[in-house]
Structure 1
């Protein structure tokens, strides 16, 4: 059906024929000051994503992981366990999964695979998990529209649904997908707005949170956002929270050292429109595992199960002394900046950390470490001619790790400096060609605490935390010399 332009619909609309009000009076209400501690808090059900009385959307490409994520969230809520890293507020919840694409057998496969992986028993979910499928007869059409009838809300269904939510004390209802829960023009903002507002009314009157899974348009196939959702934007506008799922990109796979053929097992989730909770600049990452159901003689169906995953931290276990040793090697040699060069600076990093530059994960880690050190000024890109008189980019030492007068502003290794290493010995800058051992004997020893104190952004140690540092600042030198 072709949507009638909004302007034409307004021009053809009949005048309001209801009873005309008389003696209209409008009065502004003065705001009454309230103690903020007495204001009723928002009722969160699951993390900061599901709120009682409100609707959220879950937007993703087909096959990105919406269904198995919704099953994982449901099992977390009904068991009260934070299996996906989100807190279940107030203990176990009652959850209703209403799927409009898959039949009951397929849903059972997904649910039982997740239960098998997470060691969830029948008694753990008894009486709290409810599952229905449109393919098994549980049709859900909240509204429909036609040329002759216009938009019609299915009031009997709305009332029956609300009554069941109340009777079962459902905390969260998940509908997958939204497009199958109505029969209106999904490109018509007025009609979609009416359907979305009806779902919001069901959430409020049913005293539960509601999730509406939604697909993206073809234009949003590369990188999904809230605005990539197919059809009218009215749905996104009506939701309080919009979770967006994206598969791991090729660039992200390279950054984290994930083989390209395996990157589709990873996806990230972030709230692209949460005006009820503090914004977050980080995505939650998940990985898909394969769980064998054992439902035939050959092992049975293999089903996807979603588990939390964290990108590798390139600075895990890295100390200031590690950086100093890398700087010493780079100072002694000629190392190029690009990782394709045979004398790449990553060779120096690999030597210090015992890494293999031919290993994809190790190579990605080294690239990330070098990128941060260049950003912080510990290493500097220097363009000069090589032996063939061609201009090439080299990495050279910038601000030495123990250079008290020019320490990197944000800390050499960002948050990667290991707090547990408290006595790493740093040295004065060696001459080109000098050995690390020679440098150790040439200059005064400066503790790692001194370096950390000069970098408060590290959040590890301050001057007044270390008497030796304070003594050094007073010109008294360090104890024992």
Structure 2
């Protein structure tokens, strides 16, 4: 063993010896591979944070992920390595009845039965008495970790064979100063130890700060950054923006049904350049009271995967040649409010509408036009508008398609 430097004394005047441990060389093929519980997002024995704005969909997403894990089914585009898992959801904001609504709506949508779950899903709620306070902090005593709770929780996780334990939200699982990095670091490390000792992944749902209300990132998480630093992965949720809605042809009043996720701090799996998109569909529980049967009962949101539309679906090189022919014979302008707009040539060839209310068609046209200008098939040219007697941007034919 190597030798470290010996400190002189501790606070109790007791000598302390520090010893450095030499690295032991090994064949990399003998190293135990990482144990993934869900896709490449949840790893056994490590922390994962889920960061989102309020009402962005993190609770219904966590339920959908839990159902994917307990059934072993790829519901949201993520595989479940090794088959069905055992998942424990501990919610500190919603009562058990509301959680049942969310879970049963998702099960109804996906056709999941009690037999499919097979007793592998566990659900608790603080509003129904299942209090979860891992730590408290007072001026008199400072930070105190609730050791009896940590021990009992670890024992139960092991006894149940839980693969993933999800806490929602993190801020309600402690009574410490959430802006104190030292306290939050200690709490986060305690959660990490629970995961390591219980051999399960730990998920902590977390809100963003007010400053991060526009575009959420890992650093938008409210309070001390120590939580994010302690996590192996940080899944970030963002609602669809107005610009994204225009780009994908989604009506503004419907865009809040869509959100995207990405891992903003995945230092344990290869990074992904693309966000995963989801939308919320409405599912009726058919639980209306006898005197109110016409309403159909509660309608709950369920998360399903969604892919942004491909502007070039069904578009061929022949379509491009025909658009180029129209552009060559006319004086088409670049801006969509100008007449004639270059997008009108695309609309004519593809049978689309440029009317203001045709949101999806206009988004498709705009995407195609931008791509053809970017790749040189069309080009923007500034020249004199004889009617306005000022310079305007026009669209002309660029390179011929191969």
TM range (shorter): over 0.9
How far 1:342 moved relative to its partner? 2.3
2:363 paired with 1:375: no
How far 1:28 moved relative to its partner? 5.7
The answer to which structure, 1 or 2, has the higher relative contact order (CA under 8 A, 6+ apart) is: 2
Number of residue equivalences = 386
1:213-252 matches, cutoff 5 A: 213-252=205-244
- Structure 1 residue aligned with 2:304: 307
2:359 paired with 1:360: yes
2:323 paired with 1:331: no
Change (3 A) 1:39 1:30: closer
Work out the CA distance in 1 between the residues paired with 2:186 and 2:11: 19
How far 1:25 moved relative to its partner? 6.5
Provide Cα deviations, 1:229-266, integer angstroms capped at 9, x if missing partner. Answer: 00000000000000110000000000001100100000
Provide Cα deviations, 1:361-414, integer angstroms capped at 9, x if missing partner. Answer: 011011111111111111110001112222111111111113xxxxxxxxxxxx
How far 1:19 moved relative to its partner? 2.7
Change (3 A) 1:177 1:28: closer
SS at match of 1:294: coil
Work out the CA distance in 2 between the residues paired with 1:30 and 1:37: 17
Work out the CA distance in 2 between the residues paired with 1:141 and 1:28: 36
- Structure 1 residue aligned with 2:6: none
- Computed over aligned residues only, the root mean square deviation of the Cα atoms, in angstroms, reads 1.4
Residue 17 (structure 1) aligned to one of 6, 12, 16: 12
Provide Cα deviations, 1:119-148, integer angstroms capped at 9, x if missing partner. Answer: 111111131000000011100000001111
2:337 paired with 1:340: yes
SS at match of 1:71: helix
- Structure 1 residue aligned with 2:399: 399
Work out the CA distance in 2 between the residues paired with 1:282 and 1:151: 40
SS at match of 1:328: helix
- Structure 2 residue aligned with 1:127: 119
How far 1:17 moved relative to its partner? 2.7
Work out the CA distance in 2 between the residues paired with 1:114 and 1:55: 26
Work out the CA distance in 2 between the residues paired with 1:205 and 1:318: 55
- Structure 1 residue aligned with 2:84: 92
Work out the CA distance in 2 between the residues paired with 1:343 and 1:355: 15
Work out the CA distance in 1 between the residues paired with 2:199 and 2:13: 33
Work out the CA distance in 1 between the residues paired with 2:372 and 2:233: 37
Structure 2, unaligned runs of 5 or more: 1-8
TM-score, length of structure 2 as denominator length: 0.94
2:56 paired with 1:56: no
Q: Which has the larger radius of gyration?
A: 1
2:199 paired with 1:207: yes
Provide Cα deviations, 1:22-59, integer angstroms capped at 9, x if missing partner. Answer: xx47456255152x433221111111100000010000
Structure 1 segments, 4+ long, off by >3 Å, are 24-28
